[in-house]
Amino acid sequence: MKFQDKEHLYGNNNKKQMIPKIILIAILVTIIVLVTPLSYPLFGSSLMMNKSMQSSTSSNVDSIKKETLPSTSLKNCDIFSGEWVPNPKAPYYTNKTCWAIHEHQNCMKYGRQDSDFMKWRWKPNECELPIFNPFQFLEIVRGKSMAFVGDSVGRNHMQSLICLLSRVEWPIDVSYTHDDYFMRWKYPSYNFTIASYWTPFLVKAKQESSDGPTHTGLYNIYLDEVDEKWTSEIEDFDYVIINGGHWFTKPMVFYEKGKIVGCHYCLLENVTDLTMYYGYRKAFKTTFKALNNLENYKGVTFLRTFAPSHFENGLWNQGGNCVRTKPFKSSEARLEGTNMELYMIQLEEYKISQKLAKRNGLKFRLFDTTQAMLLRPDGHPSRFGHRPEDNVTLYNDCVHWCLPGPIDTWSDFLLEMLKMERVKSKKERPHIE
């Protein structure tokens, strides 16, 4: 049994393995493979359907962040600047209590021996970040809806959230389609809906070839065109969490106004290499513009910033791996190179769009996970994202995050931001009315 896993790095795979056992039997497994054909290992007795599948910040960054960060009524605190500190009480779920753990992020199942990587919490420099309280979260989002828009790291977060919320309630599948890339879940007692939208490039994209110069596919990216698969449905959401990054390392041909304008490592004659950064910037520009232009959209948009991967001693396809078992201290890791570029582009485009959004009465917020995740080389599946004998192209996954694991902290951030949102809207209301 093998699964060919060229796309594993980018985890474009399934979403439907998060199905409550009760209704599982009723659900017909349809394997939808959009990019490369994949076959999946059979995971023995598992009831789940297993189909699937980058501080120091410069002063520039600081100035951008200062202006955009939410603050509590109590004091100004940048919750995203801090350190990981031990938390013996973690984790708050296990692979036995939560069925929503993606197969490739179920690290304990595949033999990871150390568990210290689960036992940390984020301590902002100037305040405390409370551990996620699922009851409080569900009260705040009662009657609301939340969309995760982007790639498999966004899905990784959604699944972590489902696990954290499972102490209170399991969601039911209310998906509109059988397409695993577009799942929708509802928390019945709270009338809270979460949905995931698969759009790894955020804008309209088409796979031109499954091979390409690096044998990881060649993509046509229409940088000035929205991906209607998500933009057509997003208006109704109260919270929209946007993410993207890892897919932009693939070979791409860029289109604008329907014409080729350049590419990233496409090795095509007469096509200028504009680098991935060109495409990345434009994709975010188009995405934010789309949100700003939606007629009925009233939601809060969160830009969940790039979460660095941690391949050491080689690239992902050249033997690189992530074998550390402890977080870095903030003094031990610097945001640099590609991680820094991608992050800065996000911040710059976010800043531009946020000004526009403000004028339109829309809320754009920075969900700034980059620094915290830069410090977590220990939190990836590495070789524990599959059985040892499985023939996978990305043998060592240093992109996604083990569950339970450091990505659970994103829900700590999220809840804190939602709480601040309430404080803000109370403050802002007198001006609006």
Ligand X SMILES: *[C@@H]1O[C@H](CO)[C@@H](O)[C@H](O)[C@H]1NC(C)=O
Q: Residues in the site for ligand X, rule: CB under 6 A?
A: 2, 4, 46, 95-96, 106, 108-109, 143-145, 191, 193, 269-270, 391
Task: Quote the least distance from Cβ 73 to ligand X, whole Å.
Answer: 27
Pick the closer one to ligand X by CB: 232 or 391: 391
Q: Catalytic one among 52, 152, 330, 411?
A: 152
Q: By three-state DSSP, how is residue 353 classified?
A: helix
Report the residue number, 186 or 229, with the smaller CB distance to ligand X. 186
Count of alpha carbons within 13 angstroms of residue 109, beta-carbon side: 21
Contact 322, 312 (CB under 8 A): yes
Least distance to ligand X, CB of residue 15, Å: 18
Contacts of 135 (CB under 8 A, 6+ apart): 168
Q: Determine if the peptide bond prior to 200 is cis (ω within 30°).
A: no
Residues 6 or more apart in contact with residue 78 via CB below 8 angstroms:
65, 66, 69, 124, 125, 126
Comparison of 269 and 295: residue with beta carbon closer to ligand X = 269
> Residue 122 half-sphere exposure, CB side, CA atoms within 13 Å?
30
Instruction: Tell me whether residue 400 is one of the annotated catalytic residues.
Output: yes
Which is nearer to ligand X, 145 or 309 (by Cβ)? 145
329-334 own/partner pairs: CB under 8 Å, 24+ apart: 329/83, 329/375, 330/55, 330/56, 330/82, 330/83, 330/371, 330/375, 332/375, 333/55, 333/374, 333/375, 334/55, 334/56
CB of 271 to ligand X, least distance (A): 9
Residue with tokens 């705040």: 140
Whole-number Å distance between alpha carbons of 301 and 349: 13
The span from the CA of 132 to the CA of 160, in Å, is: 11
Check: CB of residue 383 under 8 Å from CB of residue 320: no
Nearest approach, Cβ of residue 228 and ligand X (Å): 22
Min separation Cβ 110 and ligand X, Å: 8
Considering beta carbons, is residue 50 or 199 the nearer one to ligand X? Answer: 50
Residue 145 bears catalytic tag: no
Q: Which residue has the tokens 């932009």?
A: 248
Q: Amino acid identity, residue 424?
A: K
Amino acid at 394: L
b/e sequence 324-342, b meaning 16+ C-beta within 10 Å? beebbebeebebeebbbbb
Contact by Cβ (8 Å): 182, 197 = yes
> How far apart are CB 267 and ligand X at their closest, in Å?
12
Q: Which is nearer to ligand X, 58 or 325 (CB)?
A: 325
Q: How far is the CB of 184 from ligand X (least distance, A)?
A: 12
Q: Which of 78, 151, 368, 397 is catalytic?
A: 397
Tell me which of 157, 264, 386, 400 is the catalytic residue. Answer: 400
Q: How far is the CB of 312 from ligand X (least distance, A)?
A: 24
* 3-class secondary structure, 48: coil
The conformation of residue 349, written as its DSSP 8-state character, comes to H
Q: Among residues 154 and 404, whose Cβ is nearest to ligand X?
A: 404
**Looking at beta carbons only, is 168 or 352 nearer to ligand X?**
168
Active site residue ranges: 152, 397, 400
